[in-house]
Chain A
Amino acid sequence: MTYSDSLIKIAFAYLKNVADAEEVAQDVFLTYLQKAPVFASDEHEKAWLIRTAINKSKNMLKAGWFRSRTPIPDNLAYFPKDEYSVLQAVLSLDKKYRIPIHLHYYEGYSLEEIADILHAKPATVGTWLARGRSQLKEAIGGQAT
């Protein structure tokens, strides 16, 4: 359960819903128990869990039941106003941009590490980050980091 927060947050960045994100995190732990993978390091283990959470989030987005429903929006009123704006701005980005942004700015992964997790080239990840940042700048100006 050490990485449960990280998994819930990457899944939330994908699905924009805490309950769904928690379900994905639970599924990831279930897969972990079923497959019992062996890792060279804790970082390797965390990267595997995040990669699995992303895959499961993608699958959930594609599921018919998920697409056909209308979930109750999360109550994020407890967020400070400025941070809520930043969060909404990131969540409004295309997932192609917001996932690298989340991995870079929240998890602190480098371009190469993100490329490894997302199975993409570092240059491609750099492009996604640059475009995401550009769109964020347009949305919220220079008020956020």
Chain B
Amino acid sequence: MKKKPSYKDAMSHLKRSEDFEERTIKKLGLDPTTKTKGASTMTTTYKATPSRKKWTIWTGGIAACAVLALGIYAFNPGNETAVPTPTPIVDSGSTNQQPGTIADEPPGQMAGKRVVNFEGVIEEVSADGLSFRVGELWVTVNDATEYGITGPTAPPVSEQLVSDDFKVGNTVAGFTSEDVSSGKVTAERIYNNF
């Protein structure tokens, strides 16, 4: 009588690759010379596989990036950008420039905003005291003219070297939005007058 086919018999016929054992030993990094028939050849030593090495490299790289990012953040707390206070520069040697004015050139890369465009010693003051001459430039002040510097670190105006009393010989620095080459401007701000 023919035996009924069984799943167990069918599965028993399934063949594995002839080199399975060899490949497995190689993959596990085991020494094939220590293998004995019927005994487990596993050891507790573990040799890193390429995938493990790759994983280690990736992990190390990400950790290094994280440390760099933290370092950069630590040295630059907050999101404030460094804007240096503009320093007034008077180029008295320029032949195309009026005395007492600052060359109308684009600000430097680090300058956030130029706030001084005339500076010098007052050589003449008008009778009403509201105009003065610095070099060839007549500067007029009015009610809209502001005095002193402002900002979170600025001292009170009373403590600054500035006043609305213009005298010959005073050193003055200020800003106007008008063209300083026109010879006559109205000051929007006087920073120094002493």
Contact = CB atoms under 8 A, between A and B. Distances in A.
Interface of A: 1-2, 4-5, 8-9, 12-13, 18-19, 22, 25-26, 29-30, 32-34, 36, 76, 78-80, 82-87, 90, 101-102, 105-106, 143-145
Given A9-B14, A12-B14, A18-B16, A30 B27 contact: yes
B43 A22 contact: no
- Main SS of chain B's interface residues? loop
Given A1-B24, A4-B16, A144 B5 contact: yes
Nearest to A13: B11
The 7 closest A-B pairs by CB, nearest first: A83-B10, A82-B5, A87-B10, A105-B7, A145-B6, A83-B5, A86-B10
Interface residues of B, number: 27
A102 B44 CA distance: 31
A107 B4 CA distance: 19
7 contacts: A1-B41, A18-B16, A22-B20, A33-B42, A36-B44, A84-B10, A105-B7
Contacts of B17: 18-19, 22
A103 to B, nearest CB: 11
Given A4-B21, A26-B23, A78 B13 contact: yes
Contacts of A84: 10
Most buried by A among B14, B17, B49: B14
Contacts of B44: 33, 36
